[in-house]
Amino acid sequence: MKKLTLPLTKEDVLSLHAGDAVSLSGVVLTARDCAHKRIFEYLDRGEKLPFELKNATIYYAGPCPAKPGMASGSCGPTTSARMESFAPRLFDLGLNSTIGKGEMSDEVSASLVRNKAVYFAAVGGAGALYGKNILKSECIAFADLLSEAVHRLEIKDFPVVVAMDAYGESVYKK
């Protein structure tokens, strides 16, 4: 298993291949459907986002409230296909990785290749286990969206698989 620290460098991304098991540590941003719509409203109006996209990792998830002594509650991936219409533009703006579950389109694959970026798959149904890998959770944008707000998560040893790489390969097509 490869151990990588976020944010990923271009060298990190280019070292990854579809099917690689990876352990991530560092900072990710959460964003689901509603947050993506809000991000695009900002971009379409030419407004600065309240967080940086360049070299960021977006986890398609919404953390549940934390139990006492925990930084976060359950935090499992949502279906990535729901973000397909948003992903290429975000990769073009400097996002270098996403985490979700399930297959994504050829258009997303092309944007990964064009931008030297990567899509990681997390295990659906394992949200309670992923919650234990979150050291800190902070809502940083769009709090009115509640569970779909953007959170900044500090993660440690967060297990994922390279689902789609910067070379156009996909575990879903092997």
Return the active site residues: 36
Q: What is the DSSP string of 10-38?
A: HHHHHT--TT-EEEEEEEEEE--HHHHHH
- What is the C-alpha separation between 33 and 58, in angstroms, rounded? 12
- What is the C-alpha separation between 59 and 6, in angstroms, rounded? 12
3-state secondary structure at position 120 = strand
Using alpha carbons, list the distances in angstroms from residue 58 to 33, 78, 161.
12, 12, 15
Using alpha carbons, list the distances in angstroms from residue 127 to 3, 6, 172.
20, 20, 22
- Beta strands 2-5 and 150-164, pairing class: unpaired
Q: Are 174 and 121 in contact (CB under 8 A)?
A: no
